Amino acid sequence: MKELLKVNIDEFKSHFLGEVILPDEAGYDEVRQIWNAMIDRKPALIARCISPEDVMQAIEFGRTQNLLISIRGGGHNIAGNAVCDDGLMIDLSLMKKVQVDLSTRRASVEPGCTLGDFDEVVQAHGLATPLGINSTTGVAGLTLGGGFGWLSRKYGMTIDNLVSAEVITADGSQLHASETENADLFWGLRGGGGNFGVVTRFEFQLHPVGPNVLSGLIVFPFSQAKLVISQFARFTETMPEELNVWMVTRKAPPLPFLPDDVHGKEMVALALCYVGDPKEGEKLIEPLREFGTVLGEHIGVQPYIAWQQAFDPLLSKGARNYWKSHNFSQLSEGVIDAIIEYAARLPSPQCEIFIGTIGGQTASVAPDAMAYSSRDANYVMNVHGRWESAAEDEHCIAWAREFFAKSQPFASSGAYINFLTQEESDRIAFAYGATYNRLVELKNKYDPTNLFRMNQNIKPV
């Protein structure tokens, strides 16, 4: 294949404005590496695009040469679909422009942007839109899978704030998708992943946020986990939409506000963000401190950008990661007991179980209004397995799978596709639920040959 491709690659490079990298060239190993170190694939070539025209050229080349195509935005997705073996990796990470229209409070965002890139530009104007909780996450992948974060209870899912998108489809067409133009495609992009084309521009609605917000952590001893998590479950059912509180249980990292004898021990932490008046927020969060014996806390008014980066050190690139996830409409005693059982035997110091609280405005949209249908999911649980060496793979993965099975009876419908691993193709139809058949119809229309299949794939008929 390499000999056959050589002349064709030279021809492709002559029309391509970005950079084309082959396996024996400088930068190849660096560019093909993504966040999850368990993924070690080697594309036949990497096309680093700098414009929509480059993306069109790359798609055309991949299609005519019958190459497997993968699309890299931020390269942060757990499944590792950004990179393929022996095919064409279309790398969008150089396309990082963010433009703000203050008159409409909208942002135009290129697909290589991370959350950090986005927040830096829009927060200069005191604006934001709901995104994730880790600044190195790619905006594109997060959005196409649904997207949620600290602001979602107040302002909805990321896709609820998507106004339009520029998309290049499998046949090379460049389409504008919105509620009024190619509305079916726009419906599918909002949760359907990368199944229908490559988005080269996102347009988001922005909201006044910060730039300073009340946020931080409260840490409790693991011996009080049942008490703390049970109260967390009840508290989050009635808290105002401006407040979001998440729960994480793991071994305590060496945080400066925790006593030395707590470091490395199991703990329960509540992470919170309030997007209203900090004085009002302080009154609202006071009950959290009564959930148990506080080992330490770090709560204050800080830049929203800083809070978005707070967990970056715990989610840095280069570790081996394996996730399992469930949705919950409520946190029953059964799932709380399962969390405590498996958090008591974490297989590595970096493994954790977290509950992301959504609900609020995320539940105000009809389940069939867009591809993401899990509007009854008030909580998203991620079993986050994370470790350093391949020798630990079997033990850590088994722990995550066992806990996933133990907690499954208490889960609600659907699943968050951004948290699905590469092995979970059997859960894709379940993840989408009632919208799946319509997604298959869209796939038949926009990508009937399944050119874009390095994703949580919706297979055409």
Assigned token pair, 214: 């009340």
Those residues with Cβ within 8 angstroms of residue 375's Cβ, 6 or more apart along the chain or in another chain: 362, 363, 365, 366, 367
Residue 442 pLDDT > 50: yes
Assigned token pair, 459: 């297979």
| Percent of the chain residues topping a pLDDT of 90 | 97
Assigned token pair, 106: 């909208």
Assigned token pair, 269: 């932490």
In the DSSP assignment, the letter for residue 246 is E
Give pLDDT, residue 177.
98
Euclidean distance between CA atoms 285 and 269, whole angstroms: 14
Euclidean distance between CA atoms 198 and 205, whole angstroms: 21
Euclidean distance between CA atoms 158 and 63, whole angstroms: 31
Euclidean distance between CA atoms 73 and 330, whole angstroms: 33
Residue 125 pLDDT > 90: yes
For residue 205, name the pLDDT band (cuts at 50, 70, 90): very high
Euclidean distance between CA atoms 71 and 83, whole angstroms: 7
Residue 277 pLDDT > 50: yes
For residue 4, name the pLDDT band (cuts at 50, 70, 90): very low
* Listed range (108-112, 127-131, 423-427) with the worst mean pLDDT: 423-427
Q: 180-212 in b/e burial notation, b at 16+ Cβ within 10 A?
A: eebeebbbbbbbbbbbbbbbbbbbbbbbebbbb
Euclidean distance between CA atoms 82 and 142, whole angstroms: 13
Residue 242 pLDDT > 60: yes
Centre a 10 Å sphere on the Cβ of residue 26 and count the other Cβ atoms it contains: 7
Q: Over range 390-398, report the average pLDDT.
A: 97
Residue 1 pLDDT > 60: no
Residue 252 pLDDT > 70: yes
**Coil, strand or helix: which one is 99?**
strand
> What residue ranges define each of the domains in the chain, with the CATH number in brackets?
2-91 (3.30.43.10), 98-209+435-446 (3.30.465.10), 212-419 (3.40.462.20)
Give pLDDT, residue 3.
54
pTM of the model: 0.96
Those residues with Cβ within 8 angstroms of residue 24's Cβ, 6 or more apart along the chain or in another chain: none
Those residues with Cβ within 8 angstroms of residue 391's Cβ, 6 or more apart along the chain or in another chain: none
Biggest CA pair distance of the chain:
70
Q: Over range 85-114, report the average pLDDT.
A: 98
Give residue-wise pLDDT tens across range 51-98. 999 999 999 999 999 999 999 999 999 999 999 999 999 999 999 999
For residue 8, name the pLDDT band (cuts at 50, 70, 90): confident
